[in-house]
């Protein structure tokens, strides 16, 4: 979007500008790409201490009413009914062809389900969910809330200095306190929390966090390089409505109970791919040398002119000190160590399939 006046602002925009952020268009919002220290420093700070990200552009909603979990299972293969109060789960919304409409987070808050959907997909997801609900179940969008992520090995200790009960959360645990919904989760591969709170409280709360030792702001650039090192998918690049959970190596999101009933959208395709294999698979890729291969780069065999896949996410991994990428390849080329050739700017760049994640996850288990 070239007209920045047409873009939406998050509740933290004034703070971003005060901190010297470079603001860029993203998913219909003005968002901080980075601050004066730059993407590299912000990335490494997250790995070493605690980085604060504004993710208020994401969509938030509540699902209320008896039968809400069963209703949501009409759209996802996740075991929503088996989710216990105080727990959160990563889930996929699927279409009838088995393609991924979005990847979401859902939490059981006791009286209701709390959903976080991708910013670029909330205009698709929320009507889709609303249309699947029976009488007595209601979807309530939460446009008046902000979302802050504090990520890194020092993140939980920092938040616990303000909210001591956070230190008792395990990975994917959720608590609700004084209007805040806090989950021990994130998008960096590091330990950390995501905090949903009323929009009018967001700036004051973010300032309190930034005043704590070891906490510094980070933007979209570091968030992207961190998630890529962690082998986490970005919707619209690594996932879309043509991609199945099997192709994306996300079969683990299909609940065991759901594999017995096969009563979710796209079950026929997914079952067939599990039995016979998919046409392609998402893999990690390590290019040789220092030059990154970006999204859209064709993937070829080490010797051979015909492409066997395409890069969907690629860049430089500061923590691994080298270029990294993810992409889809034909199954015959998906084994770790398989040599490949990437066509970067018309030249063949040697590469190989590599295990994911590129950087170890450090979640609180």
* ω into 194 cis (within 30 of 0): no
The pLDDT of residue 305: 85
Q: Are residues 195 and 91 located together in one domain of the fold?
A: yes
| Domain with 64 in it | 39-277
If one counts the domains in the chain, the total is 2
Tens of pLDDT, residues 164-201: 999 999 999 999 999 999 999 999 999 999 999 999 99
The pLDDT mean for the chain works out to 97
Q: Are residues 197 and 161 located together in one domain of the fold?
A: yes
Q: Are residues 273 and 311 located together in one domain of the fold?
A: no
Q: Are residues 256 and 302 located together in one domain of the fold?
A: no
The answer to whether residue 23 sits within a structural domain is: no
CATH no. for residue 329?
2.40.30.110
- pTM of structure: 0.96
The answer to whether residue 338 sits within a structural domain is: yes
Q: Are residues 269 and 331 located together in one domain of the fold?
A: no
The answer to whether residue 10 sits within a structural domain is: no
Q: Are residues 109 and 236 located together in one domain of the fold?
A: yes
CATH no. for residue 99?
3.30.1360.120
- Mean pLDDT (whole number) for 110-129: 98
The answer to whether residue 202 sits within a structural domain is: yes
Tens of pLDDT, residues 265-288: 999 999 999 999 999 999 999 999
pLDDT class of 2 with cuts at 50, 70, 90: very low
Tens of pLDDT, residues 6-36: 899 999 999 999 999 999 999 999 999 999 9
Final residue in a domain of this structure, among 277, 292, 308:
277
Q: Are residues 111 and 245 located together in one domain of the fold?
A: yes
Final residue in a domain of this structure, among 236, 258, 277:
277
The pLDDT of residue 4: 61
pLDDT over 90 at 125, yes or no = yes
Helix extents (H) in the chain: 13-18, 39-48, 68-72, 122-131, 155-160, 199-210, 220-229, 258-261, 267-276
Tens of pLDDT, residues 201-242: 999 999 999 999 999 999 999 999 999 999 999 999 999 999
Tens of pLDDT, residues 300-358: 999 888 999 999 999 999 999 999 999 999 999 999 999 999 999 889 999 999 999 99
Q: Are residues 173 and 128 located together in one domain of the fold?
A: yes
Q: Are residues 211 and 196 located together in one domain of the fold?
A: yes
Q: Are residues 273 and 290 located together in one domain of the fold?
A: no
Q: Are residues 165 and 218 located together in one domain of the fold?
A: yes
pLDDT class of 127 with cuts at 50, 70, 90: very high
Which long-range contacts link 299-306 to residues 24+ away (Cβ below 8 Å)? 299/327, 299/329, 299/333, 299/340, 299/341, 299/342, 299/351, 300/340, 300/341, 300/342, 300/343, 300/348, 301/333, 301/339, 301/340, 301/341, 302/339, 302/340, 302/341, 302/350, 303/341
């Amino acid at each position: 979007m070239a007209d920045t006046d047409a873009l939406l602002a998050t509740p933290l925009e004034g703070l971003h500008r005060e901190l010297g952020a470079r603001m860029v268009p993203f998913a219909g919002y003005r968002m901080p790409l980075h601050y004066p220290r730059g993407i590299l420093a912000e990335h490494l700070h997250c790995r070493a201490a605690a980085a604060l990200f504004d993710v208020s552009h994401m969509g938030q909603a509540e699902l209320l009413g008896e039968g809400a979990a069963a209703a949501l299972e009409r759209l996802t293969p996740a075991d929503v009914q088996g989710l216990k109060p105080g727990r959160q789960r990563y889930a996929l919304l699927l279409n009838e062809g088995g393609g991924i409409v979005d990847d979401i987070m859902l939490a059981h808050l006791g009286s209701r389900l709390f959903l976080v959907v991708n910013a670029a997909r909330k205009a698709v997801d929320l009507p889709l969910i609303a249309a699947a609900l029976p009488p007595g179940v209601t979807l309530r969008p939460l446009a008046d809330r902000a979302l802050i992520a504090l990520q890194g090995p020092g993140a939980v200790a920092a938040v616990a200095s303000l909210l001591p009960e956070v230190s008792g959360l395990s990975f994917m645990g959720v608590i609700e306190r004084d209007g805040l919904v806090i989950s021990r989760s994130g998008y960096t591969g590091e330990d950390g929390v995501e905090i949903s709170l009323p929009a009018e409280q967001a700036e004051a709360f973010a300032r309190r966090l930034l005043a704590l030792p070891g906490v510094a702001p980070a933007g979209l650039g570091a968030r992207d390089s961190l998630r890529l090192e962690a082998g986490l998918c970005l919707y619209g690049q690594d996932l879309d409505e043509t991609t199945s959970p099997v192709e994306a190596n996300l079969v683990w999101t299909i609940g065991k109970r759901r594999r017995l009933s096969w009563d979710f959208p796209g079950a026929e395709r997914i079952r067939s791919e599990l039995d016979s294999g998919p046409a392609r698979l998402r893999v990690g890729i390590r290019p040789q040398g220092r030059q990154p291969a970006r999204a859209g780069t064709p993937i070829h065999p080490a010797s051979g002119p015909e492409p066997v896949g395409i890069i969907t996410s690629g860049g430089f991994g500061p923590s691994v000190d080298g270029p990294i990428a993810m992409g889809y390849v034909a199954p015959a080329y998906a084994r770790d160590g398989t040599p490949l050739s990437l066509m970067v700017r018309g030249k063949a760049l040697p590469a190989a399939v590599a295990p994911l994640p590129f950087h170890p996850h450090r979640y609180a288990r």
